Structure 1
């Protein structure tokens, strides 16, 4: 029997055993026959008894190479997100979604201050006062650079607290009272502040280096502080937010007296805070200051809860309180 006849007979037998087996188990000498390796997605469907071939999903084009956009082809059944605004126009932001936008409450009292009385409060307060000295000496009235550094650091406490509470919840088999979500929500809000300022000011290499170094040191220091005492960590964050409110108040003063140009608000800020289309930088700074004031209240409140002997799991977190 020649090679051609042998190939036909073996192929027929394999198809009788399994319709798909003939695609893989061909003799080595049958070089004239094309072997089609099966994608991983198809293997998984066969394992579950579903032999249907699935068509690749065309995901919207992202990124570019040599000026040409390339589409992502996926076999995993994840549908692309086609989001739109209320007016039906396409939603162009990937870093946040329409349901994550909100109108900031700028009526909040920006003058409130937690007076340090106990040793723990005084330690937290003077730690923050010591940290702000080199920052003010370096940046002075360079509000954009100062804001970028401030927001890079401000995004750390919520993420660290949320992460550690997340690990604690399954370890102790207990609920979190919503505080995990509240703290991660705070971290995300601070990150959006930074994304907004990046649209307005392109940081230089040395500013990026400073941010990199400061965030690295602060993250590890805050992580150890939170492990040692969450109430001290939240009090420190509360005082950091008080300083952020003061910093943005100075920014607003310079915008009002003409020392800093009041440029149009970036599109990302208009969509995130649902601002009017004609909004300016002053409007953006005002809503960011309101956010910082809310973070101040949440963190002082979190510290008070633990100082009074309560647990986070027993006190509902102020979700949505930016």
Structure 2
């Protein structure tokens, strides 16, 4: 969200094209929001948890905004590494389901919002959902590492690199 917002405002201020980065960054933010909304169908957080998220969001948004304005390359690389860890986490969860370590998740159905968003079957389970989300995180990892490389090219050569990822990629 921060990257898309900064690039959008830069494009307006400079009155120059963005070369397609904005839509990819905002699609990623929307996709992460859908992860959250789907998991919220399983459990509603307490007021204390919501307050902690609100506070953390305020701190992280402003910190990441400042960092992105200083070094988009660092921020994209950082997010790429965070996404790598997310892929590992979802892989461990799927492996734990397969090993019978999470019996309550084995037959847990996917909420309607998740089935619709990821186009999953009516009888899909938590394992199917985790596989879909893991694929999203792997995609985010790839995109952010590529954008990290492109940000370096821009910093070194002053050239803008067009986004290689088409809308909906």
Is 1:217 paired with 2:62? no
Name the residue aligned to 2:140: 295
C-alpha distance in 1 between matches for 2:57 and 2:159:
27
Cα deviation for residue 291 of structure 1 reads 0.1
The answer to whether structure 1 residue 245 and structure 2 residue 93 are counterparts is no
**Highest relative contact order (Cα 8 Å, sep 6+), 1 or 2?**
2
Provide structure 1 residue ranges, at least 5 long, that are not aligned to the other structure. Answer: 1-158
| Cα distance in 1 for residues equivalent to 2:34 and 2:157 | 32
RMSD of equivalent CA atoms: 1.6
TM-score after normalising by structure 2: 0.89
Structure 2 equivalent of residue 304 of structure 1: 149
TM-score relative to the length of structure 1: 0.48
Higher alpha-carbon Rg: 1
Match of 1:33 in 2: none
In the alignment, which of 93, 115, 126 is matched to residue 281 of structure 1?
126
Matched, 1:182 2:24: yes
* Match runs of 1:109-124 below 5 Å: none
| Deviation (angstroms), 1:224 | 0.5
Distance apart, 1:311 and its partner CA: 6.3
CA shift digits 1:200-224 (9 cap, x unpaired): 1221233223322222221111011
- Displacement of 1:317 in angstroms is 4.0
Gaps of 5+ in 2: none
**For the Cα contact (< 8 Å) 2:150–2:161, is it kept in 1?**
no
SS in 2 for 1:200: coil
Question: Does 2:115 correspond to 1:270?
Answer: yes
Equivalent position SS for 1:175: coil
Contact 2:109/2:125 (8 A) holds in 1: yes
Aligned 8 A contact 2:90 2:134 in 1: yes
Q: Residue 314 of structure 1 aligns with which residue?
A: 161
1:314 aligns to what SS in structure 2?
Answer: coil
Distance 2:134 2:117 in 1: 15
The answer to which of 185-194 and 239-248 deviates more is 239-248
Count of residues paired in the alignment:
163
Cα deviation for residue 320 of structure 1 reads 1.7
Cα distance in 1 between the residues matched to 2:100 and 2:47: 28
